[in-house]
Amino acid sequence: MWNWIAGNHQVISALANIAMLLVWIAYLQVFVSSYRRQKRSNILINRGAGSGLEARCLISNMSAEVIYIESLIATVETAKGRWSCPVTEVLEGRSDLDLKTRQGPLQAGRLIDVGSFRSLAEPALQSGAEPQGADPSYCLENLVALEIKVIAVHGSEDLLAGAKRRFDLIRREDRLLLRGHTVGTQQIRSRREREELRDDVEPDL
Cis previous bond, 136, omega within 30? no
Q: Residue 186: how many CB atoms within 10 A of its CB? A: 16
pLDDT of residue 94: 47
pLDDT of residue 169: 87
CA distances from 100 to 33, 44, 57, 87, 142 (A): 40, 22, 16, 11, 28
Is the pLDDT at 203 greater than 80, yes or no? Answer: no
pLDDT of residue 157: 74
Mean pLDDT of the residues in the chain: 78
Task: Provide the residue count of the chain.
Answer: 205
Which stretch of 10-19, 155-164, 185-194 has the lowest confidence by average pLDDT? 10-19
193 or 95, higher pLDDT: 193
pLDDT in tens, 90-99: 655 444 444 5
Ramachandran sector of residue 104 (left: φ over 0; alpha: ψ -120 to 50; beta: rest): left
pLDDT class for 31, splitting at 50, 70, 90? low
Tell me the residue ranges of DSSP E strands in 87-160. 104-106, 111-116, 143-154
Is the pLDDT at 191 greater than 80, yes or no? Answer: yes
Is the pLDDT at 156 greater than 80, yes or no? Answer: no
The CA distance from 163 to 41, in Å, is 9
Instruction: Taking residues 95-114, report their average pLDDT.
Output: 75
> What is the Rg, in whole angstroms, of the alpha carbon atoms belonging to the chain?
25
pLDDT of residue 138: 52
